[in-house]
Amino acid sequence: MDSQQVFTFGQQALHMMLMLSAPLLLTVLAVGLLVSIFQAATQLNEATLSFVPKILAAVAVLTITGPWMISTLVEYLQRMLQAIPTVVG
C-alpha cells in the first residue's frame, strides 16, 4: 500500500462522513438559527426553547434520511472490505 492509496482512502472516508452528516447538521443549524431569531425578537431566553426544536428536527431528519444513510454507509463499507485483497496483495 503506497501513500497515494492511503490518501485516496482517507479522502473517500472524509467525503462519506461529510455526505452522511450534512443533512442532520444543516437542519439542526437552520432550526437553531430560526429559534435564535425568535428568541431575540421576543426576548425569551429559555435554554429548553432552543433544545427541544433541535431534537425534534434531528429525529425527523434521521427518520427521513436514515435508510439512505444506512444503505450508503453499508455500500461504502462493502467497497472498502472488497478492496482489502487488492491493497494487501
pLDDT in tens, 55-69: 999 999 999 999 999
Q: Please state, rounded to an integer, the average pLDDT across all residues of the chain.
A: 92
Give tens-digit pLDDT for 26-54.
999 999 999 999 998 998 888 788 899 99
Yes or no: say if 73 and 16 are a contact pair by the CB < 8 Å rule: yes
**Which pTM does this prediction carry?**
0.81
- What's the confidence (pLDDT) of residue 50? 85
Cell of 70: 444506512
pLDDT in tens, 5-19: 889 999 999 999 999
Give 78's pLDDT tier (boundaries 50, 70, 90): very high
Contact 72, 16 (CB under 8 A): yes
Amino acid at 23: P
Q: What proportions of the chain, in percent to the nearest 5, are helix, strand and coil?
A: 90, 0, 10
